[in-house]
């Protein structure tokens, strides 16, 4: 039996590939369990700075596998994602979804939990559970309104029809739309930029930004001050500035000593 999620690292980037191409990478308990355990592996690997999630074959993820053999005998059939472990926003490093083909239901919920979403021009994406008498149970109802606004989230969830790449970009569901052959190169281009940033600063930025919309402004400002003031040691900050000055002439000029 092949692994249902593949793990590869290269140039400080880890790639998780949903690997059930014969079933459109649909979700079962084994896939989600492996996805989360491999994400934890990447989170704990100091050599990994960015995580990419994509799908093998033609599709990113077709949602829950309605014919999964892992369903308990006698249990009612449900198209809700198996368990609540779909989200990847707990990973302290940047996570990018490279979305090829269909991205439906639970697959869309995985993408929603990523920091960035790149979508192929030929792909479609949506929270389609209501068409089968269910609702998103992997964070979709919570994350979608925060990402695309209440009205667009209602349309995605209550109508349940997938949207094409152009519409997904228009409503802010995805960050970039790319031709299929440019999808992974574009994602890797962003990943390389993110991987070049100081890990302590990247980790802190993600923590602040993920929490700031959940609290009031005064609390958000206090959170910002608190976390930034202790986000890195003086040695780490000095090293980050040194590396940046070596790579960027503009940055070097800012911190250069006067003649």
In contact, 41 and 30? CB cutoff 8 Å: no
CA dist., res. 71 & res. 183, Å (int): 34
pTM recorded for the entire structure = 0.85
Q: Which residues have C-beta within 8 Å of that of residue 228, sequence separation ≥ 6?
A: 204, 208
Catalytic residues: 109, 129
Q: Assign 123 a pLDDT band (cuts: 50, 70, 90).
A: very high
Q: Can you tell me whether residue 249 is helix, strand or coil?
A: helix
**5-194: CATH superfamily:** 2-enoyl-CoA Hydratase; Chain A, domain 1 (3.90.226.10)
- The pLDDT assigned to 255 comes to 57
Mean pLDDT for 6-28 is: 96
Q: Tokens for 138?
A: 């992997």
Q: What is the CA radius of gyration of the chain?
A: 20
132 has pLDDT over 90: no
Which of 118, 104, 78 shows the shortest CA–CA distance to 160? Answer: 104
- The pLDDT assigned to 81 comes to 37
Residue of 203 and 248 predicted with greater confidence: 203
- The pLDDT assigned to 83 comes to 39
- Tell me which of 23-32, 83-92, 144-153, 243-252 is least confident: 243-252
Which of 209, 66, 101 shows the shortest CA–CA distance to 147? Answer: 209
pLDDT digits (tens, 9 = 90+) for 170-183: 999 999 999 999 99
246 has pLDDT over 90: no
Distances (CA, A) of 167 to 13, 99, 113, 177, 224: 29, 15, 19, 10, 34
pLDDT digits (tens, 9 = 90+) for 40-54: 999 999 999 999 999
pLDDT digits (tens, 9 = 90+) for 21-73: 999 999 999 999 999 999 999 999 999 999 999 999 999 999 988 776 444 43
Q: Can you tell me whether residue 56 is helix, strand or coil?
A: coil
């Amino acid at each position: 039996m092949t692994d249902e999620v593949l793990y590869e690292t290269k140039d400080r980037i880890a790639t998780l590939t949903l690997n059930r191409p014969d079933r459109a990478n649909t979700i079962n308990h084994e896939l989600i369990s492996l996805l989360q355990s491999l994400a934890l592996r990447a989170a704990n690997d100091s050599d990994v700075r960015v995580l990419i999630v994509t799908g093998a074959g033609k599709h990113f993820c077709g949602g829950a596998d309605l014919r999964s053999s892992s369903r308990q005998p006698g249990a009612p059939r449900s198209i809700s994602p198996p368990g609540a472990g779909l989200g990847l926003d707990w990973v302290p490093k940047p996570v990018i979804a490279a979305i090829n083909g269909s991205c439906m239901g639970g697959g869309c919920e995985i993408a929603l939990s990523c920091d960035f979403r790149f979508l192929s021009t030929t792909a479609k994406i949506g929270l389609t559970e209501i068409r089968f008498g269910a609702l998103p149970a992997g964070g979709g109802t919570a994350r979608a309104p925060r990402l695309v606004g209440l009205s667009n989230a209602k349309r995605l969830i209550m109508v349940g029809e997938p949207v094409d790449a152009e519409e997904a970009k228009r409503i802010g569901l995805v960050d970039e739309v790319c031709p299929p052959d440019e999808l992974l190169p574009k994602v890797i281009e962003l990943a390389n930029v993110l991987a070049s940033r100081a890990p302590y600063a990247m980790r802190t930025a993600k923590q602040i930004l993920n929490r700031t919309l959940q609290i009031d402004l005064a609390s958000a400002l206090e959170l910002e001050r608190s976390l930034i003031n202790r986000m890195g040691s003086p040695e780490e900050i000095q090293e980050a500035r040194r590396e940046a000055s070596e790579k960027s002439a503009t940055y070097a000029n800012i911190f250069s000593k006067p003649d």
